[in-house]
Structures are given as structure tokens and as C-alpha cells.
Amino acid sequence: MTPQGVFEREPVGMAERILADGSSRWPVEAGRYRLVVARACPWAHRSVIVRRLLGLEGAISMGIAGPLHDERSWRFHLDPGDRDPVLGIEYLGEAYRAADPDFDAGITVPALVDVASGQVATNGFADLTKDFSTQWTAHHRPGAPDLYPERHRAEIDEMIDSFYDSVNNGVYRCGFASTQEAYEQAYGELFDRLDALSDHLAGRRYLVGDTITEADVRLWVTLVRFDSAYHGHFKCNRHKLTEMPVLWAYARDLFATPGFGDTTDFVQVKQHYYGVHDSINPSGVVPLGPDLRGWLTPHGRDELGGRPFGDGTPPGPVAEAERVPSIG
């Protein structure tokens, strides 16, 4: 937090990359790493989506921290014995300190943990999903889509940069602002960018090209949480997502696409945001709404054309252990 009351996201503390060419100390190796996520967290959710779309479940196992945490970090309070069944730890912070006993930066999800040593290999969320697309290709499922096509990478990166600070991080800048001026600045930038994205998507199905890309994944994880958390809890209340027709239809289109809605847990989203931010919601009361049935209504976006998976195919059914509650 700056003296002006502006929320600033801290840089991650272990941003090493896992690379296929052996140039990093962490090589690509099936079965070596466990992806630790939390259903509530948008930054983690995008890694869950990409892992599923690319079919990396057999190469990278997944541990799921619960929606609640304290000063000791994300906790595996939904697992038997309150411990991750593979890593054997109660708090994710244990894996960070296994890598660095003096680690004192943010303990964040997603994190890829080296199972044998119990050490966090990386929590570099900025590169993680791109690396799933480009470094883990030997372990992609047959028919995996190209979420980061080389011919569109510059455009995808430019698009991501256009909404990272104003939308992905912008909702947090609204919610955690400690001065009126900082809040109003973040609020204005958030809705200005959402208006621009709405205009961009009015006549096209996806953000870049005619298929789902990394850019869509990154925008969508914020949109899907908008009405359940950001509109009320973070005071992003000019409009609900359901009151922004283009973005609402775009979000419903992706929600109906395998990999998106079937990895979304609205219950845990609300439990997290309303349950851990004491300074914003000191009572800890979790709202019952909104009504989620609208997510299942027709979106009409297929009339715009496009091919969700390009030359690829949809992923298969979600593994039983990774299913989320249905809203239908």
C-alpha cells in the first residue's frame, strides 16, 4: 500500500521457470510437480483451466487448498487430516520454507511444488500458464488447443497488458484502496477498460483471433467472480456483470465451454473473499446471492462464428476428485 492509499501487488518471490530445454534447474518432467491452487483465487484458477484444456492432468497432479487462510498461509483444510495427501503438509508455507527457510515474501497460489523435495519450484503466475502451453507440449493431450499461437503472441500479450492492471488487478485496487482518491482512480480505470473490452467483443467471439487463447482465460477469471465478489465486496458497483450485455454473454459462452464453468466453485469464491478480508468485511458474513442460474441461459455468441478449440478438441470429463459443485 502506498502512502496515497493505492494497493500495489507485491512481486512473487520464486519466479523461476520450468523449461523443456534444461536451461533452468527445474526441468519439465511428468509426475515431478504438484500444482497447488485454491478454487477461490483467480490467479490460480487460470492455471487450473489451462491444465485442463491442455490435458496435463496426468503429467501434473493438483492439490487444492481451501478457501480460508490465516497469517500462516493457505491451508489444506478440505483434505482428510487437514493435510495435502501427496505433500503431507498442512500449510502451503511449509513448501515455501522447504525451498528457502528465510522466505518472507507472499505465500501465493498457484505454486508448482517439487514432490520429492517438498520445495516450491515456482510461483511465477505471470509465466506459468504460458509455459504450460509452450514448455509442456510433449505432455499435451491429443487434440489440445493452441492457447498461445506463435503468430498471435504479440497481440495476445498486448491484450493481456491492456487489462492486467485495470481489470485483473484493478478490482483489488478498488477493494483495498484506503483513500477515496485511490479508489475513484481505480474504479474509473476498471470500468473504462471494461467498456473498451465490451466494444472490442461486440462483433467478435474471442479477444484475439477466432479461437480461445491465453488472453480469454486471463480476462474470464475476473469476470466470473465479478458479481459474486467484486461488485459488492470490492465496491466495483457501477454495473454488475449481468448489466453489461456483451461481457455477460461472452462470460456465459466461456462458462459453457469445457474447462471454464466446470472448474469454477462459486461457494469457495465467496467463502474466501468475504471470509478472510477482515478489514473489508469484519463480520465474516458470507452473502447468499447472487442467483447463479443466469450462467446457464443461452448466450447467442456462437452466431459470431469462431472455433473455441481451433483445430483441437474439447477436453474430456473432469476427474471425479476435481469436480466442483454444479449450479444446474
Task: Give the pLDDT of residue 73.
Answer: 87
User: Does the annotation flag 220 for ligand binding?
Assistant: no
Q: What is the dihedral sign for C-alpha 175, 51, 315, 311?
A: positive
Task: Give the pLDDT of residue 11.
Answer: 56
C-alpha distances in Å from residue 13, one per residue of 41, 95, 117, 129, 282: 18, 13, 18, 17, 29
Among 96, 172, 273, 274, which one carries the catalytic annotation?
172
Q: How long is the chain?
A: 328
Strand partners, 70: 73
Model pTM? 0.96
**With contact defined as beta carbons under 8 Å apart, do 272 and 66 qualify?**
no
Residue type, 325: P
Give pLDDT tens digits for 104-129: 888 999 999 999 999 999 999 999 99
Strand locations in the chain (E): 33-38, 61-65, 69-70, 73-74, 111-114, 119-122
pLDDT above 90 (res 167):
yes
Give pLDDT tens digits for 3-14: 666 656 555 568
Q: Establish whether 172 is a catalytic residue.
A: yes
Angle at alpha carbon of residue 83, lines to 80 and 88, rounded to 5°: 125
β-pairing, 119-122 vs 111-114, is antiparallel
* pLDDT: which is higher, 45 or 5: 45
Largest separation between any pair of C-alpha atoms in the chain? 55
Q: Establish whether 91 is a catalytic residue.
A: no
Among 33, 41, 91, 206, which one carries the catalytic annotation?
41
Give pLDDT tens digits for 172-187: 999 999 999 999 999 9
Task: Respond yes or no on whether the N-terminal peptide bond of residue 315 is cis (omega within 30° of 0).
Answer: no
**With contact defined as beta carbons under 8 Å apart, do 53 and 259 qualify?**
yes
Rounded to whole angstroms, how far apart are CA atoms 154 and 173? 27
Which domains are present in the chain? 33-139 (3.40.30.10), 151-262 (1.20.1050.10)
What rounded mean pLDDT belongs to the chain? 95
Rounded to whole angstroms, how far apart are CA atoms 261 and 110? 19
